[in-house]
Amino acid sequence: MQTNPILAIDGYKTSHREQYPLGTNKVYSNFTPRGNRFFHSPLADDRLVFFGLQGFLQWFMVDLFNDKFFAQPEEVVVDEYQQLMDSYLGKGSVSVDHIRALHRVGYLPLEIKSLDEGSKVPMKIPVLTITNTVDEFFWLVNYLESVMSAELWKSSTNATVASHYRQICQLWADRTCDDNSHIDFQCHDFSFRGMSGLHDAAQAGVGHLLSFTGTDSLPSILYARRYYTPAKDYFIAGSIPATEHSVMCMGEEQGEIATFRRLITELYPQGFVSVVSDTWDYWKVLTEYSRELRPEIMAREGRLVFRPDSGNPVEILCGTGDDQATDPARTAQQKGSVEVLWEIFGGTVNSKGYKVLDPHVGLIYGDSITLERANEILSRLEAKGFASSNVVFGVGSYTYQYNTRDTFGFAMKATYGEVNGVGREIFKQPKTDSGMKNSARGLLRVDRNAAGELTLKDGQNWAQERGGELKTRFLNGKLLNTEDLATLRQRLGAQ
């Protein structure tokens, strides 16, 4: 939304400037994940993957403010603010002098420091701090709280979720596979259509790309290229040709096998192609059509990926029966998709003793996948004697949209201020709370201990605050210490 960014606030922020003590000249705040009690993962580690600040700083704090505020005529932006405040809170209830003064400065007089993006951050460690660089604009620091929170919590949350998918895939690859070559594409982002709009899909979708290179969200690739990838030839993500139900339906049920044959022999005689296979009778496709098409499938230089898209994903892929059963009389449903394809197409047994499907066929399941289900699927495949590389997961909005700011308890709070140049350590400590909402005090510094873990030191002086792991990323309208996606991926992968 290309709105005037000075109005991208919660309404109650308009009156805070007057409510601070007379003489206030400095406000210092931080943005911190306070707890993960609402985050569930088989490999929970009490850490968050910090991501998303650089893109936000460029598009909102620089580009949008320059275009829709500073570059606009002073009277235009001031009148817009005045008119909204008059209608919202009453005529003349809010002064516009501070808005006029900010416009005349020509940039946001702020300093924002943060940890390196792609870092794994323990709970209660601030990922960023923000303060004003010009005394007059102390009010601007927490004025931006709402938009900063709204734009930052999901990118980090999605990056964390994706990292846990990666860890799960890595865990089972280590147990059942000869190498990790499949992992970059083992989880594919299907979430675009389930996100809260185009910008949300683009911005949060890049969090997935810190851990994987498979996505169907082209806006995420464009966002990553614009804000995190100066090198035009750097590979961000890719995909393969794939059908949808409308394609299969247009071929009609009685012509479904003909649609398959046309796809793999005429349109895509080589390379990867994914075909949604449950439009009518999935098990008929897998047990009958695949046998009839076997000569054409095996003659291709590439892989036909069957895509089941309904039912219980664990049962569809791994079966409803005993994982140790070998009775050939079991039904396809009891055996599950991987075992059925093994019986028809065969494959190899790797050095660890696990079965790997023939490379001409594969499976991707993209409906209602969660961390728990992905882990259960790979666990059951291991029990059945199959390598984890035999399946790919389409990770959609069922994963990436079922989170809130509370998933990691993100909050932006002031911990220090100055009145007439005299510092005050400030904090909150609600007696009615469990302790999660307790804030740090004063100026903050984040260091690494001997074990390499991030630790917080509060109550610092300015000299101490200037050291540590928090680096200046934004200063008076300019970005500093920017990094590219390749660096972020490498950093996360090394942790």
Domain ranges of the chain: 5-157+421-494, 161-401
Q: For the purposes of burial, counting CB atoms within 10 Å of the CB of 254, is it exposed (0-12), middle (13-18) or buried (19 or more)? A: exposed
The token pair at 170 is: 């890595």
Predicted local confidence at residue 437, as pLDDT: 61
pLDDT tens per residue, range 52-81: 999 999 999 999 999 999 999 999 999 999
Predicted local confidence at residue 427, as pLDDT: 79
Q: Which pTM does this prediction carry?
A: 0.95
What is the Cα 41 distance to its own chain's centre?
A: 15
Q: What is the CB neighbour count within 10 angstroms for residue 194?
A: 14
Report, as ranges of residue numbers, the positions in the chain whose pLDDT lies below 70.
Answer: 1, 428, 430-431, 433-438
How much of the chain is helix, strand and coil, in % rounded to 5?
45, 20, 35
SS3 364: strand
Parallel, antiparallel, or unpaired: how do β-strands 391-395 and 410-419 relate? Answer: unpaired
Contact 492, 118 (CB under 8 A): yes
One-letter amino acid identity for 255? Answer: G
Alpha-carbon Rg for the chain, nearest whole angstrom, is: 27
Torsion of CA 257, 259, 263, 266, to 10 degrees: 100
Domain 5-157+421-494: CATH superfamily is nicotinate phosphoribosyltransferase (3.20.140.10)
The kind and range of the H/E element at 454 are: strand 454-460
Which CATH code for domain 161-401?
Answer: 3.20.20.70
Dihedral pair phi/psi, residue 283, rounded to 5°: -70, -30
Q: What is the DSSP string of 197-249?
A: SHHHHHHHHHHHHTT-SEES-HHHHHHHHHHH---TT----B---B--HHHHH
Report how far apart, in Å, the C-alpha atoms of 206 and of each of 234, 242, 382 are.
Answer: 15, 22, 31
* Relative orientation angle of helices 485-493 and 218-228, to the nearest 10 degrees: 100
